[in-house]
Structure 1
Amino acid sequence: MPGQLTAAAPTARRGARRHLLLLLLAALLLVAFACSIMFGVRSITVSDAVGGLLGYTDTADQAAAAARLPRTVLGVAVGAALAIAGATMQAVTRNPLADPGIFGVLAGASLAVVIGMTFFGVVNPVTIMVLAILGSAAAAVFVYVVGSLGREGATPLKLALAGAATSAALAALISAILLPRIDVMDSYRHWQIGGVAGASWDRLAMAGPLLAAGAIICLLSARGMNALALGDEMATGLGERVLRTRIISSLGAVILCGVATALAGPIAFVGLIVPHLCRLLVGTDHRWLLPFSALAGAALLISADTLGRVLTRPSEIAVGIIMPIIGAPVFIWIVRRQRVREL
């Protein structure tokens, strides 16, 4: 009995620490949300921001706050989706470099959308989301198959190289499709950069159920992801159905990536850097890591979007440009920390 009490005490302290960190991260997200509403081409006061959020548009500042609300909500949804998807991909592949952008998943979604827009005249937002999900799934399967070739199987380095090569090839194919078609290129160009400026409540309402479904699938698979981290043989010995866990988890990640890309374009690095930073806070238990990643990804994306609006006023820099500037140094740090010679 004393031994049990001694063992339970560190567990209780660790749980209390995680709850406290979760509350602090939620508070940080609220601060980032408020800054996104208040700052931009026009900076507004707290009272006008609250008035705009409550639906009042009596002044220009209140109207600006009301107009920024769907953009901020979209940033929260896309940031959370990409972060959860990145953490899930890293768990499924046991690859610390897994990321929707590096693995070619975002490029696959982009290619599917381009093909639909160019050859089939697709303009319906729901159809575009479905195409993006199918493109994400096809790219993820292709990269994993190519990265698994050879005696060593799917090593982190092989998967990263296969993803980088696939992304480059798909980007070239997208350019080849668009170059002869100026009309489609003009409509695609702004989306390709990646940003949340074109947010609308209608599109958010249509995407909401799909994003919720993808997130729920990943969260319900968290225990299975913990088993995968022990290795396939150990996970099987513990009674985990490894193949089923991988397929279901990947399905949730693909849905999140596809819908997020359809809504905001391909935004890289969120799914890579956020899970790594969250692991430093809460460890590798995915039952905690996924919620932390969702909050941190949302806070990071809307903070980057706000920064892009403030830096070059009265113009703005799309968040799809800001994120690589932030993410590239962190990516280099991750590679060095993981000791590339061992990958």
Structure 2
Amino acid sequence: MSETSTRYVDRAPGDLLTAEDWNTLQDKIHDDIRSTAQTAADAVTHVHSADDSTHLEGKGLDALTEEITKRVLDEVRGRTGYQQLFLVLKNDEPQVVEHGLGTPPLVDLYRLEYFEVVSREDDETRDAWATFYLHHSEERRIRVTGENNERRSVDIQPPDGPEMGIPFADMLTRYGVEYTDTSTLDDLETEFWKAFFRAPNEQFNDDQYTHSPWFERCCKEQQTVRKLKANGDWNDIVFQVRPRKSVNFETSTVLAGGGKDGGDATITLHPHPTSVFVQHLDNNRLALWYLGVTPADTADEIAARDYIGGTRYDREQKLMVLLKV
């Protein structure tokens, strides 16, 4: 990058960082990194893992630029006072969050939804209700044998909504998991979960994170990043999580199908998340309280409660917490 101190976006202390500023910042960082990477590549006469000077450490210029840009932008997010936390609140147990931001941040809360998946681990394929799930983007619906030995399909992506999932490569970058083209998917998954559940995030129960049959097969075969890229699969591996909140939403009764004789039934819907209180303790700490019982309003929530266990489901509130100053 340039050795001068010219700012990408010139702003004074206290000014807002707009969406336009952020887009400009990303573009200029990307262009600067690409220019520097090209200069470095031009100066190379021989690289062991490549036959030309447009590759460094086995990565082409475009891939190298993209990876460095992601790392820089993640660092920028952290330094601009943005934090994303995944926590498990227990009923009536205050939880202190040490954010270290130096001023009370804006706090936004999202309930982490349980969703049905097909898990393949320890040579067993089964349906499960998870909070975090690793799978291939083409695994939108997976067949599984249920308890009564009946084959059925599980929708990994909502059939009536937009598809969800964060590229696994982006999550590795976000949580500082380093890898090379010779790294195996099996090892990467292990290191990712270690990094993901490290403080300030919390460790979730091991029945709340899993992976798909396709992912398991790749782990068993010890497939490397290089092979996954060659097969066109690397960028299609996604991390799925479903944070949701209600806005201006009071407890209400609505009509739904499934009533007697094919008619409508009424169900009560509660806000998401429910009964969570936030208190700023000082400039570097805040506390979260969860009071009440986690509602199970819909058929999916009732099924998840049966899977998790009523006592644990009722007294836990799983949250994505966003902090911003």
What is the TM-score when the length of structure 2 is the normalising length? Answer: 0.29
Q: Which structure: larger Rg?
A: 2
What is the TM-score when the length of structure 1 is the normalising length? Answer: 0.28
